[in-house]
Amino acid sequence: MLLLCMLGCQGDTEPTDMGDTATPDELFCADAPLPTTWDNFGRSFVTQHCQPCHASTSLDRQYAPAEVTFDTEEQSWAWADRILARAAADDATMPPQGGVEEDDRYLLEVWLTCGG
Ligand code: HEC
């Protein structure tokens, strides 16, 4: 314990039950509304905001690349890192026309960081 503290104690006064080794993602998820999943969030978010261009069945993909398709939970998870970078970051660039509520961007980050 002493050794761990010498290596990495942050002087964090907030008690967590994860000890001193919690990663930023674990701390983020500890405060997040869970569970946030494909069924209770992801599917409807992707359908509303991304599928107009990123569905395999879209009639007007507006040049969204063919391999960037989010029809299913598995496909969405396969792109999780890029979805977070393009749609959950402060300077989000997807969807190109914007219009996603802050709360939904937050839940997107919760889903793809903490969810299953
Ligand atoms: C109006 C059409 C449109 C909508 C809606 C849209 N996209 Fe895109 N998307 C594109 C186009 C065009 C590209 C290719 C050009 C580019 O990367 O900016 C793209 C590329 C991407 C890429 C691959 C490029 C990379 O950075 O890895 C990801 C990931 C992505 N979009 C995520 C999303 C997500 C998530 C949503 C919903 C929140 C979304 N997009 C909504 C048109 C769209």
Ligand 1 centroid to 87 CA: how many Å? 9
Residue 52 CA, closest ligand 1 atom number: 5
Is residue 24 pLDDT above 90, yes or no? Answer: yes
What tens digit of pLDDT does each residue of 25-58 get? 999 999 999 899 999 999 999 999 999 999 999 9
What is the per-residue pLDDT for 1?
46
* More confident: 115 or 84: 84
Measure the CA–CA gap between 17 and 20, rounded to whole angstroms.
Answer: 9
Q: What is the mean pLDDT of residues 65-89?
A: 97
Do residues 89 and 64 lie in contact, with contact meaning Cβ atoms separated by under 8 Å? no
- 100-116 pLDDT per residue, tens: 999 999 999 999 999 86
pLDDT digits (tens, 9 = 90+) for 6-15: 545 555 555 5
- Is the Cβ atom of 83 under 6 angstroms away from ligand 1? yes
Distance 98 CA to ligand 1 centre (A): 11
pLDDT of residue 4: 53
pLDDT (0 to 100) of residue 31: 94
Ligand 1 atom with least separation from CA of 49: 37
Tell me whether the omega of the peptide bond preceding residue 35 falls within 30 degrees of 0, making it cis.
yes
Say if CB 17 and CB 95 are below 8 A apart.
no
Question: 63: Cβ below 6 Å to ligand 1?
Answer: yes
